[in-house]
A = this chain, B = another copy of it.
Amino acid sequence: MELQRPYQLFLGDVKDRLAAKTAQGIAQWRPELCIGQTRMAGCEADLGLPDLSLKEAYEKDARTLIIGIANRGGTLSEKWVPLLIEALTIGFDLASGLHMRLGDHPDIWEAATNTGRRLIDIRHCGKQFEVANGIKRSGRRLLTVGTDCSVGKMYTTLALEREMQERGLKVTFRATGQTGIFIAGSGVPVDAIVSDFVAGAVEHLTPAGEADHWDLIEGQGSLYHASYAGVSLGLLHGAQPDALVLCHEPGRPHMRGLQQFPLPSLEACIATNLAMARLTNPAVKCVGISFNTQNLPEVEAKRLIAETEERLGLPVVDPLATGVGAIVDKLMVTA
């Protein structure tokens, strides 16, 4: 799926910043693609972008209105519908990461049909993929993996993209989740693909490339997450990574959503990911660890990073606090 750029971000009437998490990720990582934000009365999120009416945004060349909302249940509010229909009439495509399909709303469906505009449901991938063939592709690939869900895999991958671009390296960010797809403008929502085709969809997402080009692939879930490990394994096999970066949030009390499951050790998690990844790329290496230390005191974070580097003999970073330069240094030497 490919989105027309640039974007106008629709925040509706959401009551807090977290509900606009998807829009916030886009604004943070692709400010150059965001013309402005459209907020309704009562909206309490603010991305710091210009507040524009739909007409104004369209006149400034915005072409896709993104419903950048991640509310509980993923539902579409009736209150938003008049504005969404207005957007179609003005000439916008609509793109949504909600569970509910845009086209399942009869008035939106009718407006899209009448105007010839596209309704793009990022979570519902209509595309048919081939089953993976496992054949090694040219070009280099890095995949972020995690001890758990929501530990910073997308942020780490995007930080690596920025750092490697600044060094003049050839890189492409490959998105596998809804926010990542909005940021990249294309991608494959792997957790929404029929299980038989996950590895094949990832082979399609990251095709053969030039020998010195790096695909930087956003990871999903964790091999240690009892709900989603199958998704992570299909992604790992399809990605055929040359390099893994392990992402982790120190101090997390248990696996996300699974109170009785402790987090794996970094050592076990690296060993298992390498062992499973070798099936489709025997040369795979782990090139670093990425911590999300936002909830730790700075002194504690620094101590933990130094201690982990010492223990594992790998660069350990926090993308926001230290940058990811140390991992790129290692990548250039070893992978």
**Most interface-central of A190, A226, A260, A275 (chain B CB within 10 A):** A226
Segment with Cβ contacts to B, from A59-67, A72-80, A109-117, A126-134: A126-134
A198 at the interface (CB under 8 A from B): yes
Query: Chain B residues near A279 (CB, 8 Å)?
Result: 224, 226, 229, 261
Compute how far the CA of A272 lies from the CA of B223 in the bound complex, rounded to whole angstroms: 13
Contact A194 B196 (CB under 8 A): no
Contact B226 A233 (CB under 8 A): no
Compute how far the CA of A279 lies from the CA of B260 in the bound complex, rounded to whole angstroms: 11
CB-CB contacts of A202-226 with B at 8 A, as 1s and 0s? Answer: 0000000000000000000001101
Task: State how many residues of chain A have any CB contact under 8 Å with chain B.
Answer: 37
A226 to nearest B CB, angstroms? 3
Compute how far the CA of A276 lies from the CA of B264 in the bound complex, rounded to whole angstroms: 13
Q: In the complex, what residue of chain B is closest to A193 when comparing beta carbons?
A: B195
Contact B191 A196 (CB under 8 A): yes
**Interface of chain A residues 168 through 200 with chain B (CB within 8 A):** 190-196, 198-200
Number of copies: 2
A135 at the interface (CB under 8 A from B): yes
Contact B195 A234 (CB under 8 A): yes
Contact A227 B135 (CB under 8 A): no
A101 at the interface (CB under 8 A from B): no
A150 at the interface (CB under 8 A from B): no
Query: Chain B residues near A258 (CB, 8 Å)?
Result: 133-134
> Contacts A135-B260, A193-B194 known; A230 to B226 CB distance under 8 Å?
no
Contact B132 A226 (CB under 8 A): yes
Contact B199 A226 (CB under 8 A): yes
A192 is contacted by which of B194, B200, B261 (Cβ under 8 Å)? B194
**Most interface-central of A132, A135, A234 (chain B CB within 10 A):** A234
> Contacts A279-B224, A280-B226 known; A196 to B134 CB distance under 8 Å?
no
Contact B237 A229 (CB under 8 A): yes
Query: Chain B residues near A134 (CB, 8 Å)?
Result: 226-227, 258, 260-261
**Interface of chain A residues 230 through 250 with chain B (CB within 8 A):** 230-235, 237
Compute how far the CA of A192 lies from the CA of B87 in the bound complex, rounded to whole angstroms: 36
> Contacts A133-B227, A226-B280 known; A190 to B200 CB distance under 8 Å?
no
A228 at the interface (CB under 8 A from B): yes
Q: In the complex, what residue of chain B is closest to A190 when comparing beta carbons?
A: B195
Compute how far the CA of A272 lies from the CA of B274 in the bound complex, rounded to whole angstroms: 13
Query: Chain B residues near A272 (CB, 8 Å)?
Result: 275
A300 to nearest B CB, angstroms? 29
Query: Chain B residues near A194 (CB, 8 Å)?
Result: 191-195
